[in-house]
Structure 1
Amino acid sequence: MDSLSKDIVVVGSVAFDDIETTKGKKNRLLGGSGVYFSIASSLYTKTHLIGIIGDDFDQKYIDMLHSKSISTDNLIRETGKTFSWGGKYSNDFNHRDTLFTDLGVFEHFNPQINSSKFNNPILFLANIQPQLQMQVINQVSNTNLIVMDTMNLWIDNNLDELKEVIKKVNILLINDEEIIDLTGIDDLYEAGLSLLPKGPKYIIIKKGSKGSVIISNEDHISIPAVPDIDVYDPTGAGDSFAGGFLGYLSTNSKFDLIGAVIHGTAIASYTVSGFGIEAIEKIKLQNIKKRIKLLEELIKEN
């Protein structure tokens, strides 16, 4: 696969989050899969955010997105409340209880996309409903690459629709629990291999603090996580991983999946070191070079 487009299009949620961890409790943090992804990918290239917000979404958040070359031309504002969610993490951050979910205007989100400004974009489908993911695929033409994420909720409740979306994508991002749930196979490598004939050419399995695995018909490669990170809030780690992953691919002349996973991993390690977008909002590409070099050295050692 040759070098990719410079622009990235993402469809995902825009939300306000209430987060409680052992490090503290914070309310009404800007979040959502589309926001985390866009902030990460905007470190590399122009990003177009497709989503929906309520009339309670302050202009200061729009200004912040614009300051990072994130286009909000396809961010719809409707009367009502912006999607909000509350979560509490276990002491080891491996488990999360949802305290409340208020879909607000997101409940009736119906993407109507003006794709005239997209030129052979990379399309990322964040972990929203499969029906919405398919709507966007059908509206964004001439994509250079289609990548998707998902979650257990859709695997458990919308499996048929999810399988149809998986058929359409080039790369599937999925975590270790989700791929076992999706395939019924406990061995991650075998689970990944079982999905390759069903659409994607590559499967990226995210394993949190244990790193990630790239699986294709040719090979499987393990990438470690950044060690010794002081975690404050894991929310958005997977979305910012995806943003760094695709951001790197969009600007690299070669289709370098290992490099892309390294960049995604490094950026996600910053995301978790603050609440919400506090940490990732402040970083620049030069900030992550040290962590990228560390990951490259760890891979060489193995």
Structure 2
Amino acid sequence: MKNQNSILTVGSIALDNLETIKGKKEKMLGGSATYFAMAASLFVEVRVVGVVGTDFTDEGHNIFDSNNIDKKNLQVIDGKTFSWGGKYSNDFSTRKTLFTDLGVFENFKPKIDKEHINTPIVFLGNIHPDLQMDVINQMNEDCLIITDTMNLWIDISLNSLFNVISKTDILLLNNEEAEQLTGESNLSKAGEILISKGPKTVVIKKGANGSMVCGEIEIDNIPVFPGIDVFDPTGAGDSFAGGFCGYLAINGRDNIIDAIIYGSAVASYTVSQFSVNWLKNINIDNIKDRAKTISSLLAEKNNQSKG
């Protein structure tokens, strides 16, 4: 398989205000596109499609510029950058949204540079399905479309979301979203339902219980990296997606299991600090080390099941 040497992503770029048992932080770099791009740029060039306001920090711009991230499709508009505030429970099992200020993101319309419409892999971050479809319509039909979503869009834009899913090659979502989207608590059956809607592969994330894959490849439980001291789980899903897509970009789109392992390895670093602080300071060798550990755990599980 020819290397897929770049990824295009669309999503939010935000300034986060967050409180966890580990501390309280303000105006941290966040957003789905940010976490994804920082993670995927460990592997290949990432082309970010998004919008920020004129208040977006120099630090934010510098972080993008110092990594393998192309900002040609990043709009800078007069106004405020999307901002969000949240507080996690002490065990991180629940999160309360304290405020949401959409700012310039409220009227965001994705615009893809003509040089980028043939980007081999497209990741649609968990923004409104109509914006996701807008990006799909601007891209070449040969692109591999990988889609993320969230419970809000399942609640308020279900038909639009299913339209996007019908154009999707690989769907990423968590177990709660899979159940909400299909009405099926059995995740294997939920995966079958989602496969019938269009994707060739569905990856269902189960938090600390790992991930499962439905579709052309079937596997029940790919473990996560053990023993993580969690600081901030906000970017876990998006950085998982970044590692997942980054691995596929280098190794070919058929390497789903290893891509999940690498996604989990990246996410294990992300949650160990606030914002993108770990992602700024790790390299691909760090990711490979943790991926080897996860691979060993998976092999051990497989051997136990055979025994």
TM-score with structure 1 setting the length: 0.97
Q: Is the 8 A contact 1:123 1:143 kept in 2?
A: no
5+ long unaligned stretches in structure 1: none
Please list every run of at least 4 consecutive aligned residues from structure 1 whose deviation after the TM superposition is greater than 4 angstroms.
none
Q: Is the 8 A contact 2:85 2:98 kept in 1?
A: yes
- Name the structure 2 match of 1:228: 227
Q: Secondary structure at the match of 2:72?
A: coil
Post-superposition offset of 1:232: 0.4
- Name the structure 2 match of 1:82: 81
Post-superposition offset of 1:253: 4.5
- Name the structure 2 match of 1:167: 166
Q: Is the 8 A contact 1:189 1:215 kept in 2?
A: yes
Alpha-carbon spacing, 1:5–1:288, altered in 2? closer, same or farther (3 Å): closer
Post-superposition offset of 1:58: 2.3
**Cα offsets for 1:185-219 (capped at 9, x unmatched):** 00111101111111101000111111111111552
- Name the structure 2 match of 1:263: 262
CA distance in 2, matches of 1:270, 1:115: 35
AA aligned to 2:156 is: N
Q: Is the 8 A contact 1:7 1:118 kept in 2?
A: no
CA distance in 2, matches of 1:125, 1:253: 19
State how many pairs are aligned. 301
Alpha-carbon spacing, 1:283–1:143, altered in 2? closer, same or farther (3 Å): farther
CA distance in 1, matches of 2:117, 2:58: 25
Aligned residue runs from structure 1 range 1-302, under 5 A: 2-253=1-252, 255-302=254-301
Q: Is the 8 A contact 1:3 1:250 kept in 2?
A: no
CA distance in 1, matches of 2:153, 2:117: 28
Q: Is the 8 A contact 1:3 1:255 kept in 2?
A: no
Q: Is the 8 A contact 2:117 2:138 kept in 1?
A: no
**Cα offsets for 1:50-97 (capped at 9, x unmatched):** 000000012332222121120000000111100000111112112111
Post-superposition offset of 1:296: 0.8
5+ long unaligned stretches in structure 2: 302-307
Once superposed, what is the RMSD of the aligned Cα atoms? 1.2
AA aligned to 1:265 is: S
CA distance in 2, matches of 1:254, 1:104: 36
Alpha-carbon spacing, 1:185–1:172, altered in 2? closer, same or farther (3 Å): same
Post-superposition offset of 1:288: 2.0
Q: Which moved more, 1:15-24 or 1:116-125?
A: 116-125
AA aligned to 1:297 is: S
Q: Is the 8 A contact 1:147 1:172 kept in 2?
A: yes
